[in-house]
Structure formats: structure tokens, C-alpha cells
């Protein structure tokens, strides 16, 4: 790989330790329960929302 390409690649690839906590862990988020969904029943959707610690709407 050419030297210019290696330096560019180093710029874009960083170890995960350098990044702060992901926003989805600290910011308020919502989970919309689709009551007419025919594949996943609403109680299962609410249970999934509880697992990811999000407020369920619906």
C-alpha cells in the first residue's frame, strides 16, 4: 500500500477507546410500539423496549 494511502487510513481508523460514550447510552430515546404489527406482538415489543431501557410509546 502506498505511503499516502496508509497515512490516510490511519486518520480514519481510530481505536474505540478514543471515542466518548455512545449517544444511545446516555441520551433519552423512545421505542414506538406498532400495535398493528402482525409479526411481533405488542407485548413482545414492550418487553424489547424494557430490555434496551427505552420508554415504550403505544
Number of domains in the chain: 1
Does any domain span residue 50?
yes
- Let me know: does 49 contact 31? Beta carbons within 8 Å: yes
How do residues 18-34 score in pLDDT, each as one tens digit?
677 777 777 777 888 99
Helix (H, G, I), strand (E, B) or coil at 56: strand
Does any domain span residue 11?
no
Q: Is the dihedral of CA 14, 15, 18, 20 positive or negative?
A: positive
Residue 26 backbone phi and psi in degrees, to 5? -110, -25
Does any domain span residue 1?
no
The answer, yes or no, to whether residue 8 has pLDDT greater than 80, is no
- Our separate counts of H helices and E strands in the chain read 3, 2
| Predicted pLDDT at 43 | 93
Which residue segment(s) compose the domain that 31 sits in?
Answer: 20-58
Does any domain span residue 33?
yes
- Is this structure's pTM higher than 0.75? no
Closest CA to 33 of 43, 23, 18, 24: 43
How do residues 33-52 score in pLDDT, each as one tens digit?
999 988 999 999 999 888 87
Amino acid at each position: 500500500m502506498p505511503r499516502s494511502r496508509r497515512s490516510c487510513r490511519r486518520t480514519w481508523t481510530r481505536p474505540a477507546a478514543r471515542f466518548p460514550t455512545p449517544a444511545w447510552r446516555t441520551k433519552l430515546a423512545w421505542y414506538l410500539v406498532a400495535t398493528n404489527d402482525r409479526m411481533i406482538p405488542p407485548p413482545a415489543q414492550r418487553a424489547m423496549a424494557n430490555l434496551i431501557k427505552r420508554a415504550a410509546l403505544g
